């Protein structure tokens, strides 16, 4: 009977050891590869609501139209969730609710639902150019121009300027909460 006790203790230690290794791997992944964040505020409505939970991938290649989590340039220890509008080297202009990138019309279909809900008969995005926002003519190297989807209330690059690549925590790849809105991006 003693042998069975030794086997049970050995099995328990083995399971405990494997659990520690598994937890260590999860910790390392969420420290260096992924970020788990909670949406707060109305700037990305209706596409994201307060308390939505998202997973971002750190060090991911950033593309136009993707949603990113970034270190707030104007609020220490805060994070913002925004959409990438301008890439390095781009010129940006909004005219009559239409986005122009490098002089060409760019469709923002992700805004359709919000325009219906929030525009209330006026422009959803006010007219501007990078120059009118005192940001020069083009998005600088290693920087991005970001905006929230709820343009009337979003504090974004129109207010705080360009976002350095080093300030981007990661690209949103999954909304996992609430469960009825699970979405891969």
Query: Residues 93-151: pLDDT tens digits?
Result: 999 989 999 999 999 999 988 887 776 666 688 899 999 999 999 999 999 999 999 98
As a whole number of angstroms, the distance between CA 109 and CA 146 comes to 16
pLDDT of residue 8: 80
Strands 92-95 and 98-101: antiparallel
- How many C-beta atoms lie closer than 10 Å to residue 34's C-beta? 16
How far are the Cα atoms of 32, 70, 142, 155, 183 from residue 52, in angstroms, in the given order?
22, 16, 29, 19, 11
Predicted TM-score (pTM) of the model is 0.84
Catalytic positions, please?
43, 82
Phi and psi (nearest 5°) for 27? -60, -45
Closest CA to 154 of 111, 120, 121, 112: 111
Query: Residues 33-82: pLDDT tens digits?
Result: 889 999 999 999 999 999 999 999 998 899 999 999 999 998 888 999 99
**Is residue 1 over pLDDT 50?**
no
How far are the Cα atoms of 5, 12, 15 from residue 2, in angstroms, in the given order?
5, 15, 20
Closest CA to 152 of 111, 110, 100: 111
């Amino acid at each position: 009977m003693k042998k069975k006790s030794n086997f049970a203790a050995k099995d328990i230690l083995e399971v405990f050891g494997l659990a520690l290794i598994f937890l260590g791997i999860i910790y390392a992944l969420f420290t260096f590869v992924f970020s788990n964040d909670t949406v707060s505020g109305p700037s990305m409505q209706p596409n994201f609501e307060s308390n939505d939970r998202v997973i971002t991938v750190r060090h991911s290649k950033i593309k136009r139209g993707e949603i990113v989590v970034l270190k707030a340039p104007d609020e220490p220890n805060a994070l913002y969730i925004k959409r990438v509008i301008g890439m390095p080297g781009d010129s940006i202009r909004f005219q009559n609710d239409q986005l122009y990138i490098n002089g060409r019309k760019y469709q923002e279909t992700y805004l359709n639902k919000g325009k219906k809900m929030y525009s209330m008969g006026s422009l959803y995005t006010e007219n501007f150019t990078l120059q009118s926002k005192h940001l020069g003519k083009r998005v600088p190297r290693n920087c991005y121009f970001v905006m929230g989807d709820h343009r009337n209330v979003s504090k974004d690059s129109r207010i705080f300027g360009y976002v350095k690549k080093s300030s981007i925590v990661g690209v949103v790849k999954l909304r996992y909460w609430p469960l009825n809105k699970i979405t891969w991006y």
